[in-house]
Amino acid sequence: MSLMVANALGLIFGVSLAARLGLPVPAAPVLVVAGALVAVGQVSLSGALVVAVLGNLIGDGAWFYAGRRYGYRFMRLLCRISLSPDSCVRRSESLITRWGGLSLLAAKFVPGVSVVAPPMAGALGMSSLRFVLFETGAALVWAVVFLALGYAFRDSVQGVLNALADAGSVATIVVVAAVAAMLAVRYWRRRRFMRLTRMPRISVDELYDLMGTETPPMVIDVRGAASIQIDPRRIPGALPLSLKSIQHRRTAHLFDDARDVVLYCNCPNDVSAALAAGALSAHGVPRARPLAGGLDAWVAAGRPTLLHATSTAEPALPDPSSVLPGVNP
């Protein structure tokens, strides 16, 4: 306990920075404990706020500039090393497009999104000044919330600290075991989710050959509006339809049961495309498959691309027979 008091500001800065960099550290509980120490006069409130905000600015600022420089490729890298790669881009994209700069505040409290929101903001062209202003405000709110919780429940927090101090090494083992259990549960959930999205894929070469036939497949780009804005390339003839609209059956009239449907994204393990294909199958479209490797695999194979329209909104839904004519090899 005395060691934490002596190094409280350094510890707050360290866990705040580590949390923003994406490391699985208990930043919020540390701030709650710091709030209890503030209440009894053992830690400076202004000092705790300054170092917490500074840690957030440095960590999120690094991701922001990486996103600005490397765009969606960097976000895909972050999601690949995340324990929730299936949802982190979609959730952060939804926050950014719906709330703009305020999404940086919401991301502080949404697990799996906080690391992806800053590079998404950078890739979408948010100005540095706007980022710093929103990030500072968001970090301040985040720090105040958890410090205030510790301040309000200081007696309970002090009781827990005393119990941990009395338990000594046993408490350390319990904390380590709890963290390990949390990581194991998240990993199990990820593996279970990936099993649910396991289905046959179509290869780039197979798709390219089919596009030159008399009955070409219907090609669907299921990336969200923000992802398309960052990388507007598309497979020729592809129609942008979001995963949400497909899952909610808003586009059911577009699909012909006798026609192949190929869906693609640029997400880890083709998750969004697989989810969309599964939704179509559940809605009675039997020939829907994800493209293995998505848009990246198509580009890597040297296949042609076009650009989406400037607007990222979904277009008026056309007649199925008029959509996506074949592309002759």
Model confidence pLDDT, tens digit, residues 275-328 = 889 888 888 888 899 999 999 899 999 999 999 875 444 444 444 443 444 443
Average pLDDT of the residues of the chain? 79
176 found inside a domain = yes
Domain co-membership, 51 together with 109: yes
Specify the pLDDT at position 275: 87
Query: Which of 196, 223, 249 lies at the terminal end of a domain, its last residue?
Result: 196
Q: How many CA atoms lie within 13 Å of 151's alpha carbon, on the beta-carbon side? A: 14
Domain co-membership, 115 together with 239: no
* Terminal C-alpha separation, the chain: 71
Domain co-membership, 244 together with 190: no
Domain co-membership, 296 together with 214: yes
328 found inside a domain = no
Span 23-69, pLDDT tens digits: 878 888 889 889 888 888 888 999 999 999 999 999 999 989 988 88
Domain co-membership, 191 together with 223: no
Q: State how far the Cα of 103 lies from the Cα of 123, in Å rounded to an integer.
A: 14
Specify the pLDDT at position 313: 45
Domain co-membership, 223 together with 186: no
Q: Which domain, by its residues, includes 227?
A: 204-322
329 found inside a domain = no
Specify the pLDDT at position 216: 92
Residue 60's alpha-carbon distances to 20, 53, 114, 230, in angstroms, are: 6, 10, 9, 19
Q: Quick check: 82 pLDDT over 60?
A: no
Most confident of 195-209, 210-224, 248-262: 210-224
**What pTM, to 2 d.p., does this model score?**
0.62
Domain co-membership, 131 together with 160: yes
Number of domains making up the chain: 2
Span 241-252, pLDDT tens digits: 988 888 887 666
Q: Measuring CA to CA, which residue among 8, 211, 196 is closest to residue 86?
A: 196
Print the SS3 string covering the chain.
CHHHHHCHHHHHHHHHHHHHCCCCCCHHHHHHHHHHHHHCCCCCHHHHHHHHHHHHHHHHHHHHHHHHHHCHHHHHHHHHHCCCCCCHHHHHHHHHHHHHHHHHHHHCCCCCCCCCHHHHHHHCCCCHHHHHHHHHHHHHHHHHHHHHHHHHCHHHHHHHHHHHHHHCHHHHHHHHHHHHHHHHHHHHHHHHHHHHCCCCCECHHHHHHHCCCCCCCEEEECCCHHHHHHCCEECCCCEECCHHHHHCCCCHHHCCCCCCEEEECCCHHHHHHHHHHHHHHHCCCCCEEEECCHHHHHHHCCCCCEECCCCCCCCCCCCHHHCCCCCCC
Q: Quick check: 260 pLDDT over 70?
A: yes
Domain co-membership, 186 together with 51: yes
Q: Measuring CA to CA, which residue among 16, 47, 9, 43 is closest to residue 139?
A: 16
Query: Which of 196, 222, 249 lies at the terminal end of a domain, its last residue?
Result: 196
- Average pLDDT rounded to a whole number, residues 159-165: 59
Domain co-membership, 28 together with 168: yes
Q: Measuring CA to CA, which residue among 110, 314, 296 is closest to residue 224?
A: 314
312 found inside a domain = yes
Give the range among 125-129, 186-190, 253-257, 304-308 with minimum mean pLDDT.
186-190
Specify the pLDDT at position 175: 62
Specify the pLDDT at position 95: 67
Give me the CATH number covering residue 241. 3.40.250.10
Q: Measuring CA to CA, which residue among 42, 47, 43, 51 is closest to residue 14?
A: 51
Longest dimension (CA), the chain: 78
Span 87-121, pLDDT tens digits: 556 666 666 667 777 888 888 887 667 777 888 88
Query: Which of 196, 225, 249 lies at the terminal end of a domain, its last residue?
Result: 196
Domain co-membership, 127 together with 37: yes
Domain co-membership, 219 together with 302: yes
Instruction: Give the residue with greater pLDDT, 170 vs 40.
Output: 40
Domain co-membership, 16 together with 101: yes
Q: CA angle at residue 78 from 146 to 234, to 5 degrees?
A: 130
